[in-house]
Amino acid sequence: MNRRFSLVDQLVISLDRGLKTLVPGSASPRRNSPADHYGEALLDDSPRHTTGLMRINHTGEVCAQALYHGQALTAKDPAVRAAMQHSADEEIDHLAWCEQRLNELGSHTSRLNPLFYAASFTLGAVAGTLGDRISLGFVAATEEQVCKHLQDHLEQLPPEDGKSRAILQQMLADESAHASKAIEAGGQDFAPGVKDLMTLASKVMTGSTYYI
């Protein structure tokens, strides 16, 4: 029998999920990192660029967690709410893998993560109130944006960095599947103009978290 949570209960759960997303070392992956199969390569002149790319990808996963958490809070259909949380659980792996890789590279996650989490949570909650079709469509469009970033980053990574490449390749496969599932579940396929605006907004995140 499924327990019905009050609004206060749901807010407390959301706060707990937010802290687990933002506090370093709190994400516990269910799958081993794809990078575990590779040795560390000597990255001559590119470690800084690689860490910048991995920091962007980590923040992207922070935003994804926040988006799903916000949508789960306001989704009207319990099945959609459960699906949102299931997707968030799957992407915890990505969050942990990116953080682990940043630690291996001697770097850190973005200091702007709390700001981006709050903004993404708000967007997710608003999308949820507009209806499940819009909410699922927003998930699909967001995942499409993430896939584009991942494809671009794979082209920029040094060929010898097998660890980072393995992580991004698995993330790309997972994100593409999430986008397809959201559309298959009834999500609206947004117009190109809406997706262009989302691309513009994502540039704010990528441009800032690369350095900070």
Residue 61, annotated as binding a ligand: yes
Locate the DSSP E strands across the chain: none
Residue whose pair of structure tokens reads 């099945």 in the numeric block: 79
Residue 91, annotated as binding a ligand: yes
Residue 69, annotated as binding a ligand: no
Residue 49, annotated as binding a ligand: no
Neighbouring CB atoms inside 10 A of 160's CB total 13
Residue 143, annotated as binding a ligand: yes
Sign of CA dihedral 95, 91, 198, 177: positive
Q: How far is Cα 209 from Cα 145, in angstroms, rounded to an integer?
A: 16
Q: How far is Cα 84 from Cα 73, in angstroms, rounded to an integer?
A: 9
Which residues are annotated binding-site positions?
Answer: 61, 91, 94, 143, 175, 178
Which residues are annotated binding-site positions for Fe cation?
Answer: 61, 91, 94, 143, 175, 178
